[in-house]
Structure 1
Amino acid sequence: MKSLSNFSKSIKIPSNSPIDDIIGGGIEKGIITQIYGPPTSGKTNISLQLAVNSAEMGKKVIYIDTEGGISIDRIRQIAKNDFDSFASNFIIFEPLSFSSQHKDLKIVDNWLKTNSDDVDLVIIDSIIALYRIVDNSKEVNQDLGKQMGLLSKISKKYNLAVLITNQIYSSFDVDGTNNSVVPAGGITLQYWSKNIIELSKTEIIGERIAKVIRHRIIPEGVNIKFQITSNGIE
């Protein structure tokens, strides 16, 4: 049980980038935030930026890398001279299968029972990568739902921010026209993600657009341009 005053004390984790302007100052604790977009649209860069910011504030970050793409050099680049002072705050998992991804989440849940005060952020980059390389069966879909349910429980029980990145595919009408970009994972990811941000590229090299698809207080469609640079997201 909580009083209303408890909800007003929720701290957001900033990305220290223009993206904060369209998500109320940062990603919220206590819920799942989803960021989706095409390859090289900035999903991992935003994830690393948020992870560095949280680690710099003295909090541990649980980073589940399902694509083998986490770059220590990129983290050093974003953190500049501060890397060595907080490198121990990164806890990294690298599951090789969708089932081991689920097992890692259970390990995280169990570990948080005694260490939650030290952690502010859990990231899965990406939630769907290992799911997409296995048979898209009913059992696998149910497992995805269980993983999202567990992440939701973790975010609420321990008052953590949970960030998942997601991939996309193109959806076409029956006649093959009017294709649109659709996040993978279907209704399962849509249901559990309370805040959703779509990333896209522009014709300008390095420039991206972040657009609000769902947010608890920000209107749908609000967007902002940003660039990926050697310093991170600007």
Structure 2
Amino acid sequence: MKVLANFEDNHKIPTNSSIDSLLNGGFEKGTVTQIFGPPSSGKSNLALFLAVTVAKTGKKAIYVDTEGGISIDRIKQIAGDDFSKVANNIMVFEPTSFQEQGENIGAIELWLRKNHESTDLFILDSAVALYRVDDMKSSRLNKELGKQMGKLSKIARSYDVAVIVTNQVYNAFDDEGNNDTKAVGGMILQYWSKVIIQLERGDQTNQRIATLKRHRSIEEGRQVVFRITSRGII
């Protein structure tokens, strides 16, 4: 897996896969990108791959794992011989409540004030897993979700960090009875996400389809196909 070592000349984080052609070079720093899709569509695999890619360059990647599913063995697979270097450059947080998730984001924002020059990536995987199981009233939950997303947007812009937010989906029916897949979090996540990518499973084993749903300068609807492998994505 070839890694582009110098991100300073490029405002994007490349993946060296077809995802780069979808985004004209890679994931933008200074921007919140939302990746949504059903279970096993590749959201966490893509997030982990990005974290390892950044860590290999010597930069820090912050990974907030809200589902407790981050796999050290999977990181070892992707990192290969660079695991020791990678492990030192990935900071993992594992909140157990939606309130704690917000507290983690606040603590990370404070840490970045002094360490942003060494950090390229902030991943929140997933933004709504704890939101969906919290027993707070929906109005308070939505207010807290908006507050958290606002902080993530500020982090991206203030510290030139690529913020990647993964998101879950639900099935909704329109007025004509047609089934439509929608991202959880509604207009709140949609408002703060300047780039939105939908992931789906393909027809072949380990094949995934990425569709660009929103971008400030690239036409929507663009699609690419990629595969999940033992060493990441290709």
TM-score after normalising by structure 2: 0.93
Q: Which residue of the partner structure matches residue 4 of structure 1?
A: none
Separation (CA, whole Å) in 2 of partners of 1:50 and 1:84: 17
Separation (CA, whole Å) in 1 of partners of 2:36 and 2:83: 27
Q: Which residue of the partner structure matches residue 148 of structure 2?
A: 147
Aligned-residue CA RMSD (Å): 1.4
The one-letter amino acid paired with 1:138 is: S
Q: Which residue of the partner structure matches residue 181 of structure 2?
A: 181
Separation (CA, whole Å) in 2 of partners of 1:220 and 1:183: 16
Q: Which residue of the partner structure matches residue 133 of structure 1?
A: 133
Q: How many residues align?
A: 226
Separation (CA, whole Å) in 2 of partners of 1:71 and 1:11: 29
CA contact (8 A) 1:35 1:196 kept: yes
Separation (CA, whole Å) in 1 of partners of 2:22 and 2:218: 7
CA contact (8 A) 1:10 1:28 kept: no
Q: Which residue of the partner structure matches residue 46 of structure 1?
A: 46
Separation (CA, whole Å) in 2 of partners of 1:11 and 1:65: 25
Q: Which residue of the partner structure matches residue 72 of structure 2?
A: 72
The one-letter amino acid paired with 1:190 is: Q
Q: Which residue of the partner structure matches residue 229 of structure 1?
A: 229
Deviates more, 1:31-40 or 1:83-92: 83-92
1:99-137 per-residue CA deviation (whole Å, 9 max, x = no partner) reads 000000010011111111110100000001000112451
Structure 2 unmatched runs, 5+: 1-8
The one-letter amino acid paired with 1:103 is: E
The one-letter amino acid paired with 2:43 is: K
Q: Which residue of the partner structure matches residue 122 of structure 1?
A: 122
Structure 1 unmatched runs, 5+: 1-8
Q: Which residue of the partner structure matches residue 25 of structure 2?
A: 25
**Residues 184-195 of structure 1: matches in 2 within 5 Å?**
184-195=184-195
Q: Deviation at 1:217?
A: 1.8
SS at match of 1:35: strand
Separation (CA, whole Å) in 2 of partners of 1:125 and 1:157: 21
1:152-209 per-residue CA deviation (whole Å, 9 max, x = no partner) reads 001111111000000000110245x210110000000000000000001122221110
Q: Which residue of the partner structure matches residue 167 of structure 1?
A: 168
Q: Deviation at 1:218?
A: 1.5
Q: Deviation at 1:16?
A: 2.0
CA contact (8 A) 1:121 1:160 kept: yes
Residue 157, structure 1, aligned to residue 158, structure 2: yes
The one-letter amino acid paired with 2:23 is: I
Separation (CA, whole Å) in 2 of partners of 1:220 and 1:125: 24
Separation (CA, whole Å) in 2 of partners of 1:217 and 1:91: 31
SS at match of 2:13: coil
The one-letter amino acid paired with 2:214 is: R
TM-score after normalising by structure 1: 0.93
Q: Which residue of the partner structure matches residue 85 of structure 1?
A: 85
Separation (CA, whole Å) in 2 of partners of 1:98 and 1:81: 36
Separation (CA, whole Å) in 1 of partners of 2:141 and 2:15: 33
Q: Deviation at 1:85?
A: 2.0
SS at match of 1:47: helix
Separation (CA, whole Å) in 1 of partners of 2:132 and 2:205: 29
